[in-house]
Structure 1
Amino acid sequence: MAKDLDALVEQARAGSRQALESLIFRVKDQVYGLAMRMLAEPADAQDATQEILVKLITKLDTFRGDSAFTTWVHRVASNHLLDVRKGRRPAAGFDELAHLLDAELAAAAGQPEATDRVLIDEVKLFCSHGMLLCLDRPHRLAYVLGEVMELGGDAGARILGISPAAFRKRLSRARQSMEAFMRPRCGLVDPSNPCACAKMVAGAQRLGLVAEERLRFANHPTVDARRMSLEIDRLRTAAEVFRSHPDYETPEAFDAALRATLEGVAAHD
């Protein structure tokens, strides 16, 4: 795959619009998946992905080839995602999330658990994305690269432009924070824990966080609800919860807009 990408890079640099389109479409879902895990909102992730892909197109001549092309893509994406929309309301921390979950669990006591697998999966994905947002951006990014994408310390360090030791330290802190929150609470990592997704569906609906007519995650085209439900119910570590997320793909409308963008770039060459 790396050789194929390198060939496309050279062809795109030489002026081939077809090669440029193929190159961008080969990496768009990787960028979108990273954006989803960093921003959680599909609309925000799509906007960020569009902005990142434009940067890849306009900065392609700066790729020196001293690392894998995908490493460069992740570096450009990571730098963008560390800074994008910092003016928005900061995400809740673990303490605030714990307070919300504890209150909803108390409200759900004695109530029947939900049985709709789509809504249960929506809560699972919504809540786990929310837990990622409890990490600040540098630690969230290190966690996604190291734990979710399972990149090694050297690769993660190159992407973030820090030393391998600094990357490992940042990843370790993020891992410890996530495990400390999930290990005594989350029913996905320990079925004996109090917080179960089926218990939280009614509360999430009441708060407007989850709505059957407005699914954000469980209706994603790459989600196989039955397979995901079986896999996610067998998880035992925090990292496995996030690795079980779907392989996010950009929607068809996004792809159509991206093609129009690429045509516009070609028209100005």
Structure 2
Amino acid sequence: MAAIDALPPLREVIARHGLSARKALGQNFLLDLNLTAKIARAAGDLTGSDVLEVGPGPGGLTRGLLAEGARRVVAVEKDARCLPALAEIAAAYPGRLEVVEGDALAIDHRALLTPPVKIVANLPYNVGTELLTRWLDVADWPPFWQSLTLMFQREVAERIVAAPGSKTYGRLSILAQWRCEARIVMDLPPEAFTPAPKVRSSVIQLTALPAPRFPADAKVLSRVTAAAFNQRRKMLRAALRALAPDIEDRLRAAGIDPTRRAEQLSIAEFCALAREIAA
């Protein structure tokens, strides 16, 4: 395995600092530095960007991002045990790594970064979907970031890129694809991680569009999709009844048959319905 920098191998770092992965924190460490560098390269040219990383752990991906030329990396880590290992990386890359101890769900990421911003992370399994939803479901667009290059369980990645009519198509598919180009760029087997998870993982990239694909109020669209997919087996006239007493008329006004189900509607149709509800 070729070295990407002058720092020691990750297995040595983990052994020296006693960094056994904790299930309660959703930790699965990726130790192959060639793979972490490959993930960093998947995010595109980093040389002029600040990069936000959530859950760096012992710093494998952090090193990949720095070695690939990121202008500055802000790494948010909840596990205090990892801070000494990350401090060693900061010393090896003077002025380019800022480590923030804390919960990524409670931190204002925008305040830590200078545009342009890319987010690249092997997200902890227990908070990954919630973080993604927060980055996508915002009032103002474009967002503070240009792209998201994130690792998820394969089933979550498939939901993000799913097309209408598929079993995996849902609210997350619409939130992502309404405002972004979304694609899976890499698959990783369980044995690439320590400890090995029971599922395959995928790296997904979402590139922010200058404007949403179709006009709609973000809050209304979020409400409509949440209601529709919370009862996805029901016809829309039943699943959406709580949104408006005249929901059947609203559906027909948007050009949608009230007897259809949520997974059958395109993003354009959901946006048309959101505009009708808002009106």
Structure having greater relative contact order (Cα 8 Å, sep ≥ 6)? 1
TM bin (shorter chain): under 0.3
- Bigger strand share: 2
